[in-house]
Structure 1
């Protein structure tokens, strides 16, 4: 079964059970957060480093590698100084 999520207004399709990071990577997104002057994306893939955090459905700090993508999720990039 396929799902659809939205990243900053862009609709992306994924598979049921896939992580948010998996959906983003499958669509060519390698980075999705800015922190300390640099781009960040998935690094460790196991929820330890926090480089992959996003805002999901209004909740900040969600780890994309740990959160299963759900149909209708609205995702926003996080920009931190």
Structure 2
């Protein structure tokens, strides 16, 4: 007996996230690090005040860390942006 193919809704082409309280639209499938970089919002600073940003894109350097949905030190290059995400870079 043949079965009918199940139809699934197509994923949203755009998601909305909040970075430091500011709502931003981002392409679905983009990493959180890419969304932060594209926004122009600074990632974070070191203890000495030097600006930091995503460097390796593989989660090794941990320079892309931010607080995502209340979870501190999240490696944003390893996480895809999802609708409604709250991202804090400072």
Which category describes the TM-score, using the shorter chain as reference length?
0.7 to 0.9
Unaligned runs of 5+ in 1: none
2:59 is the alignment partner of 1:47: yes
Q: Which has the higher contact order (CA 8 A, sep 6+)?
A: 1
Counterpart in the other structure of 1:34: 45
- Residue in structure 2 matched with residue 12 of structure 1 by the alignment: 24
Unaligned runs of 5+ in 2: 1-12
Structure whose CA Rg is larger? 2
Counterpart Cα distance in 1 of 2:87 and 2:65: 10
**In the aligned structure 1, how far is the partner of 2:36 from the partner of 2:22?**
11
Taking structure 2 as the reference length, what is the TM-score of the superposition?
0.78
Give the distance between the partners of 2:44 and 2:39, measured in 1 at CA: 16
Q: 2:75 aligns with which of 43, 52, 63?
A: 63
Runs of 4+ residues deviating >6 angstroms: none
Alignment length (residue pairs): 77
Aligned mates of 1:5, 1:73 — CA distance in 2 = 5
Scaled by the length of structure 1, the TM-score of the pair is 0.86
